[in-house]
Chain A
């Protein structure tokens, strides 16, 4: 061991380590501004965040993504404290979150969004123009159970609720359009509630194992049929106008940003959303690749 070289070895090791940590920061071209977009912790959350985010990136903004951040209960405080600037919400559910479950949402998307904005304004937030694309809570059962219990719609569950276990994300227990609504509107009192995930693989596995008989899914999910799951009809209209709508901090909602976001909302339909979900949920395409292809095909990038 040549002692004179020892400091050199040490210096090399340290330099390499620092280089690994520091490298990767290439100079970005001048951008119009930076926004942080949050995505909910389910695959459609990433799809929607990427959809609007890629549109902004193409328009010259720098976008930081915070995907799989959590439920609205997590994302709400994050945007209120300015740690994220934007998330893509659903009009009726967001309204019932910001009004502490006051029951103001309805099937009328314009009225719902207006009420939502009145709740958001004191928080320095605003909801942009809602899209026609909708995604509501759905309650699914396996085909086998549907045959066994002979049900087609949610009100069929009322007499047999105490034989069934409901599975969803933990937040379902406190949500107006979830367990609370099923009890109030349909009178369904479940035997038990199992905390799983929000429309994710845990819920699907539990349905398959019959650990739960009723599971929360989303009406825009693309993989239900292939999994043998059927969402029951919401015959008493518990769900409301859950139209896709960007919720943004007023400070960053410049005319340009608003224009880009509204353009995406205007063109998005429920069928588009289901198709995007299919690409991501079934084909395992990346959300950003799938949405870029969509934006390209629909001439947002012209």
Chain B
């Protein structure tokens, strides 16, 4: 049997298109998941913050959801939502929402009481106060959540390969089934690189958009 190096550069140079296609699918799945999760988490977080009674139940329910291994969740959804993007996204959005909701709530809770008082004193109505004062001040925490959610989602997308989706996960699976090192190693490394690039990009975006919050 021919020796199987960990990265066969010859093979790699003729198969770049495979990795580009996988990367594209990976990025798309991640963007949709984080985007939808953000759209859900912002209102949900605001509601959980506003109605104190809901805070712990909401966080607890999602916390339990979090303990379900993703491979089980994706597999269980298949009979209902099929083998495709929808199933993957439902799972991915679910996990991302927990991270984001928590950070939205914690961010809103961290707004100092005197600022809220000042805003009320200035005549801001609750909705306007939320949009113009509380949420902007909660942005550092929300951004931190977006970073964590994005990196986490990129990792979880690889697991969707088990239900026939999966971007880079598909190449990992192929490496396993065919006992072939290169696609496996390169896909794993690319997944890490993608996650780190995403994290750095989001960190840079955070610095650019929140100049007043340049602490950490």
Which residues of A are interface residues toward B (Cβ below 8 A)?
1, 3, 6, 9-10, 13, 17-18, 20-21, 23-24, 41-43, 46, 66-70, 77-78, 81, 83-84, 197, 200-201, 204, 223, 226, 280-284, 286
Contact = CB atoms under 8 A, between A and B. Distances in A.
B110 interface: no
A78 B11 CA distance: 32
A6 to B, nearest CB: 6
Interface in B53-101: 79, 82-84
B174 A68 contact: yes
Given A10-B205, A21-B24, A21-B27, A281 B83 contact: no
Contacts of B83: 66, 69, 78, 83-84
A17 B201 CA distance: 10
Interface string B158-195: 00010010000010011011111000000000000000
A283 B2 contact: yes
Interface in B91-134: none
Contacts of A81: 82
Contacts of A23: 24
A200 B173 CA distance: 12
B39 interface: no
Contact of B21 (A24, A41, A197, A223): A24
A83 B170 CA distance: 18
A1 B210 CA distance: 12
Contact of A17 (B20, B31, B170, B180): B31
Interface in B14-54: 15, 20-21, 23-24, 27-28, 31
B112 to A, nearest CB: 25
A284 B178 contact: yes
Contact of B176 (A78, A201, A223): A201
Of A6, A10, A46, A201, the most chain B CB neighbours within 10 A belong to A201
Nearest to A6: B208
B20 to A, nearest CB: 7
A200 B175 CA distance: 11
A200 to B, nearest CB: 6
A206 to B, nearest CB: 13
Closest 5 CB pairs of A and B: A201-B179, A21-B28, A66-B164, A69-B164, A21-B27
Interface in B193-208: 201, 204-205, 208
B11 A20 contact: no
B216 interface: no
B203 to A, nearest CB: 11
A20 B29 CA distance: 12
13 contacts: A3-B211, A9-B208, A18-B31, A21-B27, A21-B28, A42-B177, A43-B177, A43-B178, A68-B161, A68-B173, A68-B174, A84-B83, A284-B180
A41 B180 CA distance: 14
A41 B174 CA distance: 9
Contacts, number: 75
A83 B79 CA distance: 11
Interface residues of B, number: 33
Contacts of B28: 21
A78 B31 CA distance: 27
A83 to B, nearest CB: 5
B20 A24 contact: yes
A286 to B, nearest CB: 8
Nearest to A17: B31
Given A13-B205, A84-B83, A200-B177, 14 more contacts: A6-B208, A17-B27, A20-B23, A20-B24, A21-B24, A21-B27, A21-B28, A23-B24, A46-B178, A66-B83, A200-B179, A201-B177, A282-B1, A286-B15
Contacts of A24: 20-21, 24
Contacts of B20: 24
A67 B174 contact: yes
B170 A68 contact: yes
Of B15, B79, B209, the most chain A CB neighbours within 10 A belong to B209
A286 B183 CA distance: 11
A83 B208 contact: no
B211 A1 contact: yes
A87 to B, nearest CB: 12
Contact of A41 (B15, B24, B177): B177
B31 A10 contact: no
A10 B11 contact: no
A11 B82 CA distance: 36
A3 B11 CA distance: 47
B2 A284 contact: yes
Nearest to A201: B179
Contacts of A42: 177
A284 to B, nearest CB: 5
